[in-house]
Amino acid sequence: MNHVKKAIFPVGGMGSRLLPATKTLPKEILPIINKPIIQYAVEEALKSDITELIFITGRHKRPIEDHFDTAPELELYLLNKKKFDLLNAIKSIVPKKTSCIFIRQPGPLGLGHAILSAEPVIKNEKFAVILPDDLIDADTPTIKQLINISNKVDSSVIAVEDVLLEDIQKYGIITQENEYKNQKISKIINIIEKPCIKTAPSNTAVVGRYILEPHIFKHLQKTLPGLNNEIQLTDGISSLMKEKNIFAYRYDGIRFDCGNKTGMFNANIYFGKKYHGLVPIKNEK
Ligand code: G1P
């Protein structure tokens, strides 16, 4: 049985690594081929039977709200032109019986703060967190994989993968319980936000998919600003770990970090080839 019906999409970030594209456009609205990054994240949730989409937005993020709203003039135009495929494509972005909830974060206060902002909507349920920057192509949607594991172990579950040593400082890094080390599912015994290579306990990194028990909220409430003076979700998870088991899951799928140019470039090539039959031009010398 799927116990997870709500997903949080933290979309308040500045997207400075993609300037100048993100000067006026939220990074989540930038497309991979012809679909905004945020729509891939939402589709992953919908395919995983999630019906409440909670966006934690901020200033300059209005295009995200508009993307998930109706567009009457455009719909009428496409209807008159008999462009039914396109009409259907924009009308089915949010299926009926799905609700979109937008909560505004007053500033860059951290991922932990963003998650805490959703507490009044989540209340006492297990929920999903999807970071849209991490675009993952997988046969079974990654968040669905996590839901299945979470139902099995009846605990919070976090997606992980091993990263290159030079990338350690970009991620939350975990230590797994020894006897389960490198298995697909393992118990986490330590988690630290963006350590330097020298002090990192491993190279197993947290990827932007989480299933969390609502107990996380009381831990986030008492989490003080950490790295970059922001309230870090990682610190809240570290505190929750003292009370409850938390599991790491090595998900199946191919991930692109679309918060930077390399990830965006590779994702466009990969999705273009795989889903749109596009072929890059051969103009190398
Ligand atoms: C966030 C989390 C980090 C995690 C990463 C995954 O960092 O704080 O622990 O490893 O997402 O993408 P951000 O990328 O927002 O800096």
Nearest CA to ligand 1 atom 5: 171
Residue-wise pLDDT for 103-162, tens only, equals: 999 988 999 999 999 999 999 999 999 999 999 999 999 999 999 999 999 999 999 999
Nearest CA to ligand 1 atom 7: 171
Question: Which atom, in ligand 1's list, is nearest to the CA of 193?
Answer: 9
Does residue 284 lie in a domain region? no
> Is 2 a residue whose pLDDT tops 70?
no
Tell me whether residue 92 is in a domain: yes
Residue listed under structure tokens 């072929």:
279
Q: Does some domain include residue 148? A: yes
Q: From atom 9 of ligand 1, which residue's Cα is the shortest distance away?
A: 172
Q: Give the mean model confidence (pLDDT) for residues 74-86.
A: 97
Among protein residues, the one whose CA lies closest to atom 10 of ligand 1: 171
Summarised one tens digit per residue, pLDDT across range 245-271 is: 999 999 999 999 999 999 999 999 999
Neighbours of 244 (CB within 10 A): 14
- At residue 187, what is the residue type? K
In-domain check, residue 285: no
Count of domains observed in the chain: 1
Residues 175-191 pLDDT 10s: 998 776 678 999 999 99
Q: Which domain holds residue 218?
A: 6-276
In a domain, 281, yes or no: no
- Work out which ligand 1 atom sits closest to the CA atom of 259: 14
Indicate if ligand 1 lies below 6 Å from the C-beta of 171. yes
Task: State yes or no: pLDDT of 10 exceeds 60.
Answer: yes
- What is the percent of the chain where pLDDT is above 70? 98
Average pLDDT of the chain is: 95
Q: Is the CB of 208 under 6 A from ligand 1?
A: yes
Q: What is the mean pLDDT of residues 161-184?
A: 90
Phi-psi region at 89: left, alpha or beta (left = phi > 0; alpha = psi -120 to 50): alpha
Specify the 3-state DSSP secondary structure of 78: helix
Confirm whether 1 is domain-assigned: no
Residue 36 Cβ contacting ligand 1 at under 6 Å:
no
**CATH number of domain containing 60:** 3.90.550.10
Task: Look at residue 70 and tell me if it is in a domain.
Answer: yes
Q: Is the confidence at residue 285, as pLDDT, over 80?
A: no
